[in-house]
Amino acid sequence: MLQKPPYTITEKAADYLAKIVETVTRLDMGTDFKRDIKLHRENRVRTIHSSLAIEGNSLSLEDVTAVVEGKLVAGKQTDVKEVKNAYEAYDKIMTFDPYSVSDFLKAHKMMTQELVKESGRFRSGDVGVFDGDRPIHIGARPQFVPQLMGDLLEWAKESELHQVLKSAIIHYEIETIHPFEDGNGRMGRLWQTLLLAKWNTVFAWIPMESVLYQNRQQYYQAIEQARRANDSGVFIEFTLAAIYETIILQKKSQGMHKTKHKEKHQVKALSALQISALKALSDSELSRKELLTLLGVKGDSRWFKRHIEPLIKFNLIEMTVPEKPNSRLQKYRITEDGKRE
């Protein structure tokens, strides 16, 4: 019988699990998250930027976006290559079997190709994590790594533990075994995301790594505390808190998107004067007085508030001097949304 990794499921972790299950169901079933392709792309970029930044990659979020879009970026070529590799690995994430050693190695090769000597292979030498000259953690001896990783993934496959909890344990154990000469942190985060995405596909597009990056000191501390205790319980708590926070952020953004969509939809019933105002502004910028004159309306602030201000509110027209609404130089022009009306 396979020996299970040492872990404790605390009351706090169990509470986070219940919240995650409930909230991700609402995100999945009650929003357009699964169909929001633009958000998926943005989240994927955030995931890659954050996971690499944790390891010291110097490229900004804007730089990572540019690399993913195929643009040239001024930066270290190794950093650019890390982004390209990570994008390929995350792009193929749903094709991996989370319990397959060969897929685990295949993903590492994608993540580290042309960057690491033993890319796609378990390390042949000893490795450790150091603070200066002080060893913080020494990975398993290289001759034991293949068996340890095989046993870990076999345990995960056979275990009836909830997938969310299992994903956190796998993440921690990869960090502890340290199976590769480099790329262990990236692989731990990738494999946790994979296990979560196999439970619910929304996790393929949820940037949990962003929260880990924002709280990287606590992330390191949770790993260290778990090592000292020889029990991943504290790491499970921390990771589940990060997952829950990320889902909440995604759900809130969906709620804001839905509200904006609803408000925009409400302005579809435009009055005849509003339609005329959009036509008048379609090829020129006009002052308030010029616009009213063109529409044949005498100066009336109530009329302006009732007919023109809603067009500004719903981004169909905009002010040329928005920082000074009452400027004598103020004019109005149509927006891209207004042109589509």
CATH at residue 172: 1.10.3290.10
Q: Quote the domain boundaries for residue 174.
A: 11-258
Instruction: Identify the CATH number of the domain in which residue 287 sits.
Output: 1.10.10.10
Of 228, 258, 288, which one is at a domain's C-terminal end? 258
| 263, part of any domain | no
Looking at the structure, tell me whether residues 148 and 15 fall in a common domain: yes
Looking at the structure, tell me whether residues 21 and 134 fall in a common domain: yes
What is the CA 216 to chain-centroid distance, rounded?
A: 15
What single string gives the DSSP state of each residue in 106-144?
HHHHHHHTTT-TTTTS--SS--EEEETTEEEEEPPPGGG
DSSP SS3 for 332: strand
| 264, part of any domain | no
| 4, part of any domain | no
Q: How much is the pLDDT for 261? A: 46
How far is it, in rounded angstroms, from Cα 317 to Cα 309? 9
What tens digit of pLDDT does each residue of 177-192 get? 999 999 999 999 999 9
| 61, part of any domain | yes
Looking at the structure, tell me whether residues 194 and 278 fall in a common domain: no
Looking at the structure, tell me whether residues 214 and 295 fall in a common domain: no
pLDDT in tens, the chain (341 residues): 568 999 999 999 999 999 999 999 988 888 888 888 888 999 999 999 999 999 999 999 999 999 999 999 988 999 999 999 999 999 999 999 999 999 999 999 999 999 999 999 999 998 877 666 776 777 889 999 999 999 999 999 999 999 999 999 999 999 999 999 999 999 999 999 999 999 999 999 999 999 999 999 999 999 999 999 999 999 999 999 999 999 998 888 776 544 444 444 445 568 888 888 888 898 889 998 888 888 887 766 777 888 888 888 888 899 888 878 888 889 999 988 788 76
Q: What global pTM score does this model have?
A: 0.74
Looking at the structure, tell me whether residues 254 and 313 fall in a common domain: no
Of 226, 258, 290, which one is at a domain's C-terminal end? 258
Looking at the structure, tell me whether residues 85 and 55 fall in a common domain: yes
8: phi then psi, degrees, rounded to nearest 5: -130, 130
Domain count, the chain: 2
Looking at the structure, tell me whether residues 81 and 223 fall in a common domain: yes
What tens digit of pLDDT does each residue of 307-316 get? 888 888 888 8
Looking at the structure, tell me whether residues 212 and 305 fall in a common domain: no
Looking at the structure, tell me whether residues 165 and 69 fall in a common domain: yes
Looking at the structure, tell me whether residues 25 and 174 fall in a common domain: yes
| CA distance readout (Å), 103 to 27, 110, 120, 152, 275 | 29, 10, 10, 14, 58
Looking at the structure, tell me whether residues 196 and 330 fall in a common domain: no
Looking at the structure, tell me whether residues 43 and 150 fall in a common domain: yes
- 141: β partners: none
